[in-house]
Amino acid sequence: MSKENETVSRPWTIVAKFSSFEEADQKRNEMLKTHAEAKVRKLSEATNLKPFVVKIRDDNAAKPPKKKKSKKTKK
C-alpha cells in the first residue's frame, strides 16, 4: 500500500463504555455540548461486557501536518 493515498486524520478517543445504547446516547449528547464531534459505536457483544462505546474527536487535537508541495526546477 502506497503512502501517497493514505488518509491521516485526527484520532477518536474512547471516553466511556456502556451496556445499553440509551446510556451511551445520553453520554454522547452530553459530550456534544463541549466537543465538536462525538459518536456511539457498538463493539462485539461476544468479547465485551459493555459493547456500546462513546468516542470523541477533539478540536484541539494535533492536526496532521500539511504536505509541502515540491518546487519544480527548470532545466
Helices (H) and strands (E) in the chain, counts: 1, 3
Q: Give residue-wise pLDDT tens across range 1-33.
A: 556 656 667 889 999 999 999 999 999 999 999
The pLDDT of residue 75 is 65
| β-bridge pairing 52-57 and 37-42 | antiparallel
Pull the grid cell for residue 54.
462513546
Q: What distance in Å separates the CA atoms of residue 63 and residue 8, rounded to the nearest whole number?
A: 9
pLDDT in tens, 30-48: 999 988 899 999 999 899 8
Residue 66 has pLDDT above 90, yes or no: no
Distance CA 12, CA 28 (A): 13
Q: Mapping DSSP to helix (H, G, I), strand (E, B) and coil, where does residue 25 land?
A: helix
